[in-house]
Chain A
Amino acid sequence: MSGKRLAVVGAGAVGGSVVELAREYGHTVTAFADSASAAVDADGIDVDSVLARKGSEGRVGSADPEAALDADYDVLVEATPTTLGDAEPGFSHVRGALERDRHVVLANKGPVAERYADLMALERESAGEVRFEATVGGAIPVLSTVEDLRPGHVTAARGVLNGTANFILSRMAAEGLGYEHVLAEAQDLGVAEADPAFDVEGTDAALKCVILANVLAEGAREYTLADADVEGIQNVPGSALELAAEDGQTIRLIGECTPDTVRVSPRLVPQNAALAVTGTRNIVQLETEHAGQLNISGRGAGGPETASAVLADVGRLD
């Protein structure tokens, strides 16, 4: 495989890091768009000046954002914010690329969590391929591991898939502090967003489980967020963590995919269990038919971390 020409749509932490790191992986960024503008150059954009401009002016270039979608590229990297329901505008970006027989690498969870069947139908009609390692577990190679094992050999998957919720629960347990106190601390540290609902209510973890469930189902059934049974951590008081600790247990927000269900809820796990990761760390545990139990853990979020998963996907394309 040789270097690819990348069009990166979405200039948040992940999109920006993909642009910054692409050269290191031997690729050229020919287009880069945020929600208001685009920088396009068939010979490769000037990464340093584009990122500097994004930092100072808040926009990546002077072209219309649509120009990035029409640019010359081999792979579209879709890194716009995750949207639910129709998963737009991300879904249309993906459709446009596949209709041009280009490859797509997603960091945006919306299209794979909410419209998996539509996406697979588009992929079947296209010479392009869709990959989405970065949508589950950030830097952790979850989907490529499942791909290597083959989905049919994975009997169950579970894990801690939201670093914000895990940070809050593990800080509450370690310091004996209340939920509101630790949430405020997490916001100060930049671990939690000003509006933490997506993380603490379990939606983000549920989207990742839904994506994993779609991969494991191999098209036999389509899952969306509506199929997931989701409970967040807002109702877990410090007293519950104290009682759990008396029994050698702790509480973690666990996402589970079995053949028929997708569930995210706070659960009791032994303090010394592999799943009881601390801080913002994520972990995925796979039960397999031939390989026993596999545990893969690491950083589940972050710009360069998630970008490394995006670039790993680019490297796996033909």
Chain B
Amino acid sequence: MTGAEAETAPETDGGEQPKPHTIRLELADEPGQLLDALRPIAENGGNLLSIFHERGNLTPRGRIPVEVDLECLPERFEAIVDALRSEEVNIIQAGAEHYGETLTVILVGHLVDSDLSDTLRRIEQCSSASLTNVSLSAPEGRDDVSSASLRLATHTGRTEDALAVIREVAAEKDLHVVEPLTEAGQ
């Protein structure tokens, strides 16, 4: 790391956990706009989780809406938003309020035969949670049980709702859910 980078890179203390955030932007439909908007996020310690580039849609000002999900330490979020603004990127909404909590579950069962993509789509649709990562492990091949780890970003205070949807979809498809243990008071 060079001296200049060391100055701009925020400090880490190892104590805080990265949290998911969602930023809604609007971009002019010109080449390079998206890349220009994403660079300040990475440069300020944000980890891009997903980008939803709604090319078919236009905002009232005739621009293209983009939804960016990212993960960063809570104290870095403001720096990211400031950097975007200084690049004159138009931010419609930014905040941890949108997707404030992370939920990880493991699904176990005949995931492929029970149509995993349908399972994931329904979890995302019904729970108003955003899937940020899916890992599948099917060591025995297609016929045997496999496991999938799902990471979801959920709205603050809505994790229990998302879990209820996951339980319901899993029960219908005869899948087992390994839920996280949430320790009250921590």
Contact = CB atoms under 8 A, between A and B. Distances in A.
Contact of A156 (B106, B109, B148, B184): B184
A267 B178 CA distance: 5
B147 A239 contact: yes
B135 A268 contact: no
B181 A293 contact: no
Nearest to A276: B181
Q: Contact size class for A?
A: 20 to 34
Contacts of A258: 184
B180 A268 contact: yes
B108 interface: yes
Contacts of A269: 180-181
Interface in B135-186: 135, 137-140, 145-149, 151, 176, 178-181, 183-186
A148 B20 CA distance: 42
A293 B186 CA distance: 9
Given A239-B146, A247-B104, A268 B181 contact: yes
Contacts of B106: 240, 243-244, 251, 268
Interface string A204-246: 0000000000000000000000000001000111111011101
Contacts of B181: 158, 254, 256, 267-269, 275
A239 B178 contact: no
A249 B146 CA distance: 18
Interface string A261-296: 000011111000001000000000101000001000
A243 B135 contact: yes
A236 B178 contact: yes
B139 A239 contact: yes
Interface of B: 104-106, 108-109, 135, 137-140, 145-149, 151, 176, 178-181, 183-186
22 contacts: A155-B184, A158-B181, A235-B108, A235-B145, A237-B146, A239-B137, A239-B138, A240-B178, A243-B137, A243-B149, A247-B149, A247-B151, A249-B180, A251-B106, A254-B181, A256-B181, A265-B179, A268-B179, A268-B180, A275-B181, A287-B183, A287-B185
